[in-house]
Structure 1
Amino acid sequence: RRKLLLVDDKEVNRQLLAEVLTPLGFIIAEAENGQVALNQLPTFQPDLMITDIVMPELDGWAMTRQIRQCPEYQELTIIASSASVAESDQGESIAVGCNDFLPKPVQVEQLLARLQKYLQLDWVYAAESETSSEVNAARRTQLVMPPAAELTQLYHYARIGDIEGIEQEAGKIEQRDSRYREFSQRVLELAGQFNDQAILELIASVREEAE
């Protein structure tokens, strides 16, 4: 099992990543700043690090510089992550020794692509027949489906793999009309399985029926 070290001074950011990665079989360790991460390296020996840039005590760039001074960590993959999308920040991240840059809020699709690239992974997705069965199940149970026009934002989040966005939008749909509660719960269930493809098919079925 691959080991990932998540470095961020905000616990909620670490938790969001851990909630995505733990079900995929990764062993996760967390650190609230660069110094704590450095202390964990010898014992945890991660295969990959995802680090925030701005942190107290020791920031992500300073931490990366120190790591790259150690011969035993020259091949360790380090991905910087920040809400700043300025080219200067991305360029500086690479200059100090990071392998890549991941914008915040982290999109699941982008995260998995980075892990696939640097850890040489092959993702196994549910077969099309399985995801289609979710749509058929929805029709069999006759869920009260929201109008297609109300699903635009949900569809957008599902396309980019934004699980947090999907969950928030599903909650809003339920709040707009309690009749959509079962539909929203179905979406939340699929989001919990990171099955954005099934959510896309569910929304597509609503659009087809509306046409």
Structure 2
Amino acid sequence: RFDNRQLLIKLLDPLGFELKEAANGLEAIAIWEEWEPHLIWMDMRMPVMNGYEAVKSIKSTTKGEATAIIALSASVLEEERSFVLSAGCDDFVRKPFREEVLFEKMAQHLGVRYIYEENVESQSPPEEISLSVLESALRQMPRQWVVNLHNATLEGDVRVVTEAIAQIPPSLSALQTTLSNWVNQYQFEEILELTGLIIDN
């Protein structure tokens, strides 16, 4: 998905990695053949040619064996992990993904190390709102809206998630601010946990 590609680029570009993006499996193979990257983040659901076919094509070559491929999938089924690994992927990350998980996987497969900048400015941390207060606010939104937000988060569709948050009325500004902060900080699991409280009841 375009949103997922943009999210990855937003995360990785400031760190100095050389990046190229592909809209489908055929483009991924063409870029890999020309560019020979060290690592590929492969979305398993793509148009024209899906990730499974692209991975099998790349890994069927000697050159492809030297390229680490990490699958990105929104599936919550444990069987999905087995499928992508048997297709030739070296690792698996579920969407929506956490920033720290991406960095950990890249360190594992590329051997990179990160130097973290210390924040010397003393800033007061934003006041945290309890989960019960957020749940109470969320229950004031239509149930279908909550379901749509939950599903869009599962799919990693940042655009739809952002548009949904923008629909929250001013009277629930604390909920809107918290959800927006979670999106900006890639804390999608918190959104799923919160919306799950409504959907599961």
Specify the code of the residue in structure 2 equivalent to 1:51: M
Matched residues in 2 for 1:63 and 1:44: separation?
Answer: 15
Shift of 1:110: 0.8
Counterpart residue number, 1:99:
90
Structure 2 residue 70 is the aligned partner of structure 1 residue 79: yes
Specify the code of the residue in structure 1 equivalent to 2:21: E
Aligned with 2:105 (options 111, 114, 125): 114
Query: What residue ranges of structure 1 are gaps of 5+ in the alignment?
Result: 1-9, 139-144, 154-163, 197-211
What whole-Å deviation, never above 9, does each CA across 1:38-85 have from its counterpart, x for those lacking one? 111122221100111122221111111111111112110000111002
Decide which structure has greater strand share. Answer: 1
The TM-score normalised by the length of structure 1 is: 0.61
Alignment of 1:114-193 (within 5 A): 114-127=105-118, 130=119, 133-135=122-124, 146=127, 148-149=129-130, 175=170
Counterpart residue number, 2:198:
none
Shift of 1:177: 7.8
**Cα distance 1:29–1:176, how it changes in 2: closer, same or farther (>3 A)?**
farther
Choose between structure 1 and 2 for higher RCO, CA contacts under 8 A separated by at least 6 residues.
2
Matched residues in 1 for 2:26 and 2:68: separation?
Answer: 18
Specify the code of the residue in structure 2 equivalent to 1:85: V
Aligned to 2:130, the other structure's residue is in SS state helix
Specify the code of the residue in structure 1 equivalent to 2:93: L
Shift of 1:96: 1.2
Matched residues in 2 for 1:172 and 1:134: separation?
Answer: 30
Counterpart residue number, 1:57:
48
Shift of 1:147: 6.5
Shift of 1:126: 2.5
RMSD in angstroms over aligned alpha carbons?
Answer: 3.6
Shift of 1:173: 10
Specify the code of the residue in structure 2 equivalent to 1:124: I
Aligned to 1:98, the other structure's residue is in SS state coil
* Aligned length, in residue pairs: 158
Matched residues in 1 for 2:172 and 2:48: separation?
Answer: 48
The TM-score normalised by the length of structure 2 is: 0.64
What percent identity do the matched residue pairs reach?
28
Matched residues in 1 for 2:116 and 2:93: separation?
Answer: 23
What whole-Å deviation, never above 9, does each CA across 1:146-195 have from its counterpart, x for those lacking one? 57537987xxxxxxxxxx7xx96x989995588x8xxx7xx96xx97x6x
